Structure 1
Amino acid sequence: MNISVEPLAPCRKLVRVEVEAAKVDEAFAGTLRVYREGAALPGFRRGKAPLELVERKFSKEIESEVRHQLIQECLKEIQSKKGLRALRLENVEVLQFGRGQPLQAVFTMETEPEFELPEYKGLPAKREIRSVTDEDVERALEVLRRQRVQYRTVQRPAATGDIAVINYTATVEGKPLREVAPDAPSLAEARGFWVHVERNAFLPGFGEQLTGAQAGDRRTIHLLFPPDFPSPALAGRPAAFEVEVVEVKETVLPPLDDQFAKDLGAENLDALRAGVRRDLENELKYKLKRQVRTQLIRALLDRVHFDLPESLVDHETRRTVYQIVRENAARGISRELIEREKEAIYQNALATAKERVKLDFLVHRIAEEEKIEVADEDFNRWVTYQAALTGRDPRKLVSEILDRDALPQVHGEILQEKVLDFLEQHARIEDVPSDQMPVGLGIRS
């Protein structure tokens, strides 16, 4: 077997291979025997048909199988002798191939990146010193109360904290807003629109100007759109909203008592408080873990630099762009605005994709080094957790994974978590006060 490898670009090689005729004939003979064992030809029992009939019947399939088998053996030789791992082959050209002939082929091979693992044990990270306080519990209970708020119509002027139900039409510098900004029809006019009577509700400067208004009142609300407003046609421009107040509603919160707790499934208020505290402690534990892992990933990525395969980066970039566009659309960002920002979206997606691909290679290399594998119980535990989280039947979830050919992706997620567990166990973690945490990593109250 003669193999030559020439570099074309990072992670891309030109490969020429030649396999001697004797080895080609041996591969043909072995493959023919395999086909014979499974062949059921008329007049012969399975596995008993003459070799020449089997070869005549399956000549194309046998030839294709032998060619594939020999190329794969060449790739194993390349990995063994040159340390190059193939990701995919392109432009495969078979120059010579057949019984009694050597196999000669040339192709382009995209390879995994070549790099030395950095020191990954003892990575530094800071963990915020935080605990769940009584104030945290009371804030969470207040959130639960507000989730069960009721609104009662009142015959009085609107006060801070009330809801004003209004009809409005808007103009920008005397022109109907609908004409100025066709991409923002919901801002042009509305009927039966609910607005909190408080500072900057709905739009900056809007909600607070409804203070003191009552049903039947008409008001003109003047405001200035912020310079960074999502609709460029409105950014930085003054607007006037002609408002008719239809109703004023006050918010009515349920009392924080045993009955409130029972409505939520708790025995009494003390039991509800205890349950809320447990939930907050579990949430804090999760956040602190993510806080540490974010730093470990960053430290790992910064310790080594290597070129990445273009095809993997391109695929991950497209996937990330789709994810960003879908999330923006779900937030109500118009298609026109997304189109205008497509270059910025692409650049952000590209940077994210490169880090994801790089981390994936590092994770798999560490897993190999430390013999970390995904066992059946790891997969079963993942399925059980995801099924409980989404309320699905575990068996149906497994069927969905298999139907979507998503098993490698799931295994990759599980492997990454196991490697990050390993890195965390061997990290140098320093517990520090909130004001000593890296910018952007502190946990909000």
Structure 2
Amino acid sequence: MGVQLPLLALLACLNIAERNRSSLLETTIRSPKEWLRELEVAVESERLKNRIAELLEEYRGRAEVPGFRRGHVPTEVMARRFGPALESAAVEEIVEQAMAEALEQNGLKTAASVRLADLEVTPEKSIRFRVSVEIIPQFELKPYLGMKLTRPVPSGFDAEFERRVQELRIKCATYRAVPRPVREDDFVVIDYVVSDAGREVERKQNVMVEMAAAETPAELKAALTGSVAGDERAADIPIPGTSRTASYRLTVRDVKERLLPELDEEFARDLGFSGLDALRKAINDDILADRERSAEEELRKQVTGRLLADHEFEPPASLVTAGLERLLARSGLPDSNEVRTKLEPLATRLARLDCIISRIAEREGITLSDEDIAEEARRLAGETGRSEEEIARVAGSDEFRQQALRERVLRFIIDKAEVSGTKAAQ
């Protein structure tokens, strides 16, 4: 019949076992950077010897050795036949445990994967290895509750209303070919061939260029101005994100002018509204909603600016690198040293911000449930116009969870802040 220990006695035994295991571990730690720790770990031979003996005993019942019944293989035969494989398994297990214990003993919370190096098992069965680990730097959290924030009070509602009406008219516009040279407000249908350093890199047909658009390169506007259908022109146009240019060969196919519809009841009904008043109300509501979102974004910018200004430290290199890769992928710019150099300061700021956010979340007990993640996915889908299915495909990533945590913490700080100004209104 087994003996049942009282709970306190059982916990005491467990604590003694933990102390005994920890006593077989020695750690030396270096801090070459505030986000980097290098640990030299030594595990005494007793721990490996004990684990090998345990594995030999565990495996004895399953081992099949000619000349012996299962479960009755002598220890020396087991050691000779299976010792090296079991020792390898024991070393792997102990190293993993020892790394976790060393990190816990030194209060280190990792920001990236742990790198193991110089693993050595001595003839006496002691284990030595080195570990490099990136951590969230230790820094003092400055006061962040009760921030004084200013909600922007936008003006120019009428101008914004007219701009949106004009955008709708442009979307519904028709285009008419005109038999004359290209003017500054025309639309030009072209074919083009792009060469970079003498090598063709792109060829397209029937591309419509808006001469008055801000994004149309000045070099392209200059080449097309005054041309007529059938003309061939050339232009050297800068390659975004670089100091180089690409050569464009242009063929003008057509010159067109834009015809805008009148703002009347028929126009409103064509857009699916009951009439002009309903269209005006919808535009008005959209402006107010957009201004409220813009005001909230401005409050978030004020909070993040204050957090970054109050907490100066160097973030872990791996967080900066990961952030830089994400920025590069989203930018659509070519991957070059020049582009990376331009994006690195932003990646560093975001990495530092996420370290701060994580510390605040830990202090305030802010966590995210699966429903919180789903709610953030729905919010993003509504704000960006992307489908919930598209958002859901990335919602399980660490990046998305960090983004959701950032939003939750910023909202927490804004809710506790002293905010002056008023909500968006006409």
Structure 1 counterpart of 2:355? 361
Which residue of 115, 120, 141 corresponds with 2:144?
Answer: 120
Instruction: In structure 1, give the amino acid aligned to 2:317.
Output: E
Look up the equivalent residue of 1:96 and give its one-letter code. V
Corresponding residue of 1:153: 177
Distance 1:224 1:93 in 2: 55
SS in 1 for 2:160: helix
Could you say which residue in structure 2 is the equivalent of 1:328? Answer: 333
For 1:312, the equivalent position in structure 2 comes to 319
Q: Distance in 2 between matches of 1:383 and 1:431?
A: 29
Match among 385, 390, 414 for residue 386 of structure 2: 390
Q: Name the CA distance, whole Å, in 2 between partners of 1:385 and 1:276.
A: 21
Q: Secondary structure at the match of 2:146?
A: coil
Name the SS of the counterpart of 1:390 in structure 2. Answer: coil
State yes or no: 1:107 paired with 2:130.
Answer: yes
Q: 1:313 to 1:28 in 2, by over 3 A?
A: farther
Residue number in structure 2 paired with 1:411? 401
Aligned position for 1:93: 118
Q: Which residue is equivalent to 1:13? A: 37
Q: What are the ranges of 5 or more consecutive residues in structure 2 without an aligned counterpart?
A: 1-22, 65-69
Letter in 2 for 1:422: F
Give the Cα–Cα distance (whole angstroms) in 2 for the partners of residues 82 and 220 of structure 1: 69
Query: How many residues are matched?
Result: 386
Q: CA deviation at 1:284?
A: 1.6
Residue 142 in structure 1 maps to residue 166 in structure 2: yes
Say which SS state the counterpart of residue 88 (structure 1) adopts: coil
Who is 2:218 aligned against?
A: 203
* Residue 423 (1) aligns with residue 413 (2): yes
For 2:98, the aligned partner's letter is C
**Deviation at residue 266 of structure 1 after TM alignment:** 2.1
Cα contact 1:151–1:250 (8 A) shared by 2: yes
TM-score of the superposition, structure 1-length normalised? 0.66
Inter-CA distance 109–151: structure 2 relative to 1 (3 Å threshold): same
| 2:270 corresponds to 1:263 | yes
Task: Show CA shifts across 1:58-117 (max 9, x none).
Answer: 97786566445434443444444432234433343343379xx66422213223122222
Report if aligned partners of 1:131, 1:281 keep a CA contact under 8 Å in 2.
no
Is the contact made by 2:223 and 2:233 (CA closer than 8 Å) also made in structure 1? no
Counterpart CA distance in 1 for 2:265 and 2:280 is: 11
CA shift for structure 1 position 145: 0.8
Matched-pair contact (CA < 8 Å) for 2:27–2:102 = no
User: What residue identity is the alignment partner of 1:316?
Assistant: G
Against the structure 1 CA distance between its residues 106 and 142, is the aligned structure 2 distance closer, same or farther, given a 3 Å change threshold? Answer: same
Q: Which amino acid is 2:301 matched to?
A: T
Tell me: CA distance 1:62–1:359, structure 2 relative to 1, closer, same or farther (3 Å): farther
Indicate the SS of the match to 2:114: strand
Q: Structure 2: how far apart are the matches of 1:378 and 1:157?
A: 58
- How many angstroms apart in 2 are the aligned matches of 1:425 and 1:193? 49
Aligned to 2:282: 275
Q: Residues of 2 paired with 1:298 and 1:374: CA distance?
A: 24
Distance 2:107 2:288 in 1: 48
**CA distance in 2: counterparts of 1:89 and 1:161, whole angstroms:** 60
* Cα contact 2:217–2:237 (8 A) shared by 1: no
The Cα offsets for residues 299-328 of structure 1, whole Å up to 9 and x where unpaired, read as 21121222333333334334444544xx13
1:254 aligned partner: 261
Are the equivalent residues in 1 in contact too, given 2:191–2:251 (CA < 8 A)?
yes
Partner Cα separation in structure 2 for residue 103 and residue 88 of structure 1: 25
Runs of 5+ in structure 1 lacking a partner?
A: 43-47, 170-176, 236-240, 330-337, 433-445
CA contact (8 A) 2:175 2:256 kept: yes
Are the aligned partners of 1:199 and 1:208 in contact in 2 as well (CA < 8 Å)?
A: no
Paired position in structure 2 for 1:300: 307
Q: Secondary structure of 1:140's partner?
A: helix
- SS state of the match for residue 122, structure 1? coil
| Distance in 1 separating the partners of 2:79 and 2:404 | 45
Change (3 A) 1:133 1:302: same
Q: Distance in 2 between matches of 1:57 and 1:417?
A: 58
SS in 1 for 2:113: strand
* Structure 1 residue matching 2:292: 3-state secondary structure: helix
% identical aligned pairs: 23
- Larger displacement relative to structure 2 (160-169 or 300-309): 160-169
Question: Letter of the aligned partner of 2:176 in structure 1?
Answer: R
**How far did 1:220 drift?**
11
Instruction: Answer whether contact 1:123 1:300 (CA < 8 A) is retained.
Output: no
What corresponds to 1:350 in structure 2?
A: 344
Offset of 1:129 from its aligned partner? 0.9
Give yes or no for the alignment of 1:74 onto 2:98.
Answer: yes
1:261 and 1:268 in contact (8 A); partners too: yes
> Deviation at 1:378?
0.5
CA distance in 1, matches of 2:365, 2:421: 30
Matched position secondary structure for 2:274: coil
Residue 421 of structure 1, CA deviation: 1.1
